[in-house]
Every structure is written in C-alpha cells, then in structure tokens.
Amino acid sequence: MSGYFDLHCHYVPGVDDGVRSLEDSLALLRALRGLGFETVVATPHMRPALWDNRAAPLRAAFEGVREAVETARAGGDSLPAIELSAEHFLDEVVYGRLLKGEGLPYRAGRSMLVEFAYESLPVNLPARFFDLRMKRLRPVVAHPERYEAFWKKPVAAAETMRRAGGVLLLDVAALVGKYGRKAMDCAQTLLEAGAYYAACTDSHAPSDVPVMGEALTRLRALTDEDEVDRLFRRGPREILEGRIFDDFD
C-alpha cells in the first residue's frame, strides 16, 4: 500500500526530542517512505519551558531539511513530500499564540495538532477549543490514548472531545504497546468505536520505524484495508486540506 500521509513526526533536527542530525532526518523520512508514506508532516514541539519553539525559527530549521531532501532526491534518493506544522502544547502561552496567528497550522491553515499534559486535561479545554473554532481552527488531538482522562471511559471521553470540536489522531504505535498497556487497550477501544479521524506515527528517530511497521501490521489485523486507507490517507488529507466541515464552517 502507498499514498499514506503521516501528520505527526519529529524530523526537524535539534529542536526537540526528535532527530539530532540531518542524516537521521533523511534516514527517518526514507524509512517512512518504505512503509508507504508519501507525505510526512514535520510537527516539532511548541511547548514553553521544555521546547519553546516559535514559528519563525522552526520555518528556518525546516528549510535546512528541505534543502537536504532536495539534494538527496537529486542523487536518486526516494523520499516523501515534506510539510511543516507543529505540535502545539495547549497551555496559556501557546493557546494565546494560536489565537494571534502565531502557530503553525496544517497546510490549509484550518486545523492544527494539539497536545496536553498526560496526567490531566485542562479544565477549560472546551472553552479553548470553542475559541479556536471561532477562529476557524480545528484542533487535532495528538495521541488521545495516552491521556489518563481517556483510560476509564475512552468512548465517553472521545465523545466529549468530539462535541468540543476536536478530532482524534491515533498514534499507531500505541497498538503494539509502545506506550504501555493502558494506552494500548485505550487505542484498541477507540479504534473499534470508530472514534479516530486519522492516524500517524509520531516517529522521533529512524530506530522508531520498525515498530511502526509492526503497528501497521497490527492495525491491518484489527481492521481492514478500507479503514487503514481512511486513517492514513482520506482522513489526513481532509485535515491537511481543511475539509472537515460542521456548524462552525
């Protein structure tokens, strides 16, 4: 299979806990291409106090990757198309930046990847999502299966998130236990309930890719080829192109 999109990947070197060098950036992209990914979106962390990346330096760092990719392609390397967005940690600071247009949304400028602390979701999350939606920005929730608030009643938590206007992005490696038993069980329950809008790899290094291969095999065993196509091709494309419509749009 091919033509997949990966909406969440850390291959901009030296800006967060992702790859450390351009060589590893190319190695990661090459390996994902080998799994069928034809477009891989870079989503470096934008997370104050930990990796406080702003949009402009991330754009500059991404240009370095783009040049390396173009040079490698000219030499015959098979690499996916690349795009830049960010993984926005939705605290007060980053939320403020998003409202001011200082975030890095996906391609069409209508949706962006968001994450929270694993232990507890922000109490004002529905209000923040509402404000973002009023700005015509759709929150795409990274790895919901890792949040403790999802573990007890995954489907109810997913419904709360959906009502607030967020769409859920499965980290496929959760299906093979990369993040522990609770995240794995939660991911499987949400998958069976059809709660995910799309899936991704959230890869941080070339060494992550064999696990992603196992995870894709597991996903195919749990669902069917049409569902894999929805999660890795149709859903991501709608997110990138800003084609998720509802009452706000």
Q: Which stretch binds Fe ion (CB under 5 A): 79-87, 94-102, 152-160, 239-247?
A: 79-87
CB of 4 to Fe ion, least distance (A): 17
CB neighbourhood size of 233 (10 A): 19
CB of 74 to Fe ion, least distance (A): 30
Which position's Cβ is nearest Fe ion?
Answer: 202
CB of 202 to Fe ion, least distance (A): 4
- Interface with Fe ion: number of residues (CB under 5 A): 2
**Backbone φ/ψ region at 219: left (φ over 0), alpha (ψ -120 to 50), beta:** alpha
Short-list 178, 183, 234, CA closest to 210: 178
Residue written as token pair 């009452």: 247
Looking at residues 157 to 176 of the shown chain, list those that interact with Fe ion (rule: CB under 5 A).
Answer: none
> Which CB sits closer to Fe ion, 173 or 231?
173
> Which CB sits closer to Fe ion, 202 or 208?
202
> Which CB sits closer to Fe ion, 202 or 238?
202
Give the DSSP per-residue string, 117-183.
-SS---TTHHHHHHHHHHTT-EEEEE-GGG-HHHHSSHHHHHHHHHHHT-EEEEEGGGGGTTT-HHH
Residue written as token pair 């232990």: 119
Q: Which stretch binds Fe ion (CB under 5 A): 14-22, 25-33, 94-102, 199-207?
A: 199-207
Sign of the alpha-carbon torsion through 10, 13, 18, 24: positive
Q: Which stretch binds Fe ion (CB under 5 A): 27-35, 120-128, 177-185, 200-208?
A: 200-208
202 lines the binding site for Fe ion (CB under 5 A) = yes
CB of 174 to Fe ion, least distance (A): 12
Per CB under 5 A, residues contacting Fe ion are 87, 202
